Amino acid sequence: MSEQTYKIPGETEEAHCLQCGDLLGYGRAGRIFCSDSCRHRWHNDKRKEDIDRIRVRFIRIMDRNYRILRDAVESEKTTLDKAIAIDKGFNFNYMTSYTKSGRHGRYTCYNIRYEVSESKIYNIAFIRRLRD
C-alpha cells in the first residue's frame, strides 16, 4: 500500500492553482488545482486550444488545395499532372465533398470540382451556381 503525503502549513512551499492562481490549502502534496471546477476548466481550455490548432491546419491545407486548383482553372487548364500538384503542395486527403462517379470519384474543394485518376487530376472546373 502506498503512502500519500499531505501538506502541513509552513512545512513546504505554498502551491497555487494552475487555473485560477488561488493558494492551495491543505491536501495531497501533488495537488495542482484548488477544485474540480478549476480542473475541468483547465482541461477544457487545453482541449479548445488543440481543436483551434487542428482547425487552422485544416483551413491552411484546404486553402492551398483551392489555390492550386483555381490557378489551373484560371489558366484554362482542365487537367493537372498529379506529380506537379503534389510538388505544389496539394494534399489529396482533404476535400469538401466526394461522390462516386463511374470508375473515378468526383471531388470538390469549395466551389471547384475535379476528378482524380492514378496519374492526373482532370475535369477541373468551377461549379456553376443555380440562379434563384
Number of structural domains in the chain: 2
Give the DSSP H or E segment for 115: strand 112-116
Contact 84, 96 (CB under 8 A): no
CA distance 38 to 51: 20
Co-location of 97 and 71 in the same domain: yes
Co-location of 23 and 50 in the same domain: no
DSSP letter string over 38-65?
A: HHHHHHHHHHHHHHHHHHHHHHHHHHHH
pLDDT, one tens digit per residue, over 99-111 is 987 777 899 999 9
Co-location of 29 and 42 in the same domain: no
Instruction: Tell me the one-letter amino acid at 105.
Output: G
Co-location of 43 and 27 in the same domain: no
Q: Model-level pTM?
A: 0.65
Residue 131 lies in a domain: no
Range of the domain at 14: 1-34
pLDDT, one tens digit per residue, over 19-53 is 898 888 778 888 888 889 999 998 888 888 888 89
Co-location of 19 and 50 in the same domain: no
CA distance 43 to 27: 21
